Amino acid sequence: MDERAYLQGRLLDLAGRAGRNDYMTHSAFLDAAGGTLFEGLLRTRGTGSGGRGSLEGTPCFLYGGFPDAERRCAVFLPSYLDEEAFLAQEAADPQVIACLEILPLQEKFSDALTHRDYLGALMHLGIEREQVGDILTEEGRAQVFVMKDIAAYVAGELTRVRHTVVRVRETLPGDCTISPRLTERTGSVASERLDAVAALAFKLSRTSAARLIEGEKASVDGFLVTAPDRRLSPGQKVSLRGYGKFVYDGLVTRTKKDRCMVRVLLYS
């Protein structure tokens, strides 16, 4: 069985079990491709869109620990719990996703650590990638979303990231306050197509950007996109695996040659 068929079966099984037994359950973290598969199941085997609806008669939605999360798990709810109540419970006493803050033990001796450094340290503990959600970083610290059932293990075992000795503590999701830094980039493109704007954002050729998108490396608002000619709308968040992510800020003006002058906000 291929990975896509396995995940589809797993999501349908979770939905069915939650409905039959009337309890809350959830998947591990889904990447953009998994989120898109979930969205497709809502359309073909259930109802809803935008990452929420009903599958096999069971209310469900995508949840990543905070509103703008890219990696999210599919949550399946019992009859006595709606999404609003679930989120209130998670905010007060997380049971599905935990937020871990990672800090250097001695800041003056710490390395300049990146997203890749933190992820590598977590993988070195033997954790599966699907157990780790978004990793938010800023100078001197990181906040990492993980499945609740491995939070205590990570907090106890993660003592070093690269050469930096660290300490880890669990915090409430609402206390995870790292905000990304955004850098503005403006330039001329032929159109507001995904491949054209991504090429501008990451300083690629349009052909290279199109090839990456067709190779399932791109997502828009957390869902996999494989069509290079997908037209972007202002406010949409685009990720290109291996290159980064940006918010499409929209059309600034048109040039005399009728090209689009657009602006993107790059995450740094």
pLDDT at 180 over 80: no
Range of the domain at 107: 97-175
CATH of the domain at 53: 3.30.1370
CA–centroid distance for 73 within its chain: 10
- Amino acid at the residue 247: V
* Residue that finishes a domain, picked among 92, 115, 135: 92
CATH number reported for the structural domain that contains residue 241 in this entry: 3.10.290.10
**17-42 per-position pLDDT tens digit:** 999 999 999 999 999 999 999 999 99
What's the domain count of the chain?
3
Average pLDDT rounded to a whole number, residues 191-195 = 96
pLDDT over threshold 70, residue 1: no
What is the reported pLDDT for 3? 85
Give the model confidence (pLDDT) of 138-155 as tens digits.
888 999 999 999 999 999
Same domain? 81 vs 137: no
Question: pLDDT for 42-100, tens place per residue?
Answer: 999 999 988 999 999 999 999 999 988 999 999 999 999 999 999 999 999 999 999 99
Of the residues 92, 126, 148, the one at which a domain ends: 92
Two tokens at 13?
Answer: 């099984």
CATH code assigned at 136: 3.30.70.330
Average pLDDT of the residues in 92-119? 90
Alpha helices in the chain (DSSP H): 3-21, 32-45, 83-92, 115-124, 148-157, 194-202, 206-214
Q: How does strand 52-55 pair with strand 46-49?
A: antiparallel
Which of residues 148, 175, 202 is at a domain's end? 175
126 secondary structure, DSSP code: T
Quote the pTM value.
Answer: 0.85
Angle between helices 3-21 and 32-45 (to 10 degrees): 60
Tell me, what's the pLDDT at 200?
A: 97
d(C-alpha 9, C-alpha 13), whole Å: 6
How does strand 52-55 pair with strand 58-63?
A: antiparallel
Q: Are 134 and 64 in contact (CB under 8 A)?
A: yes
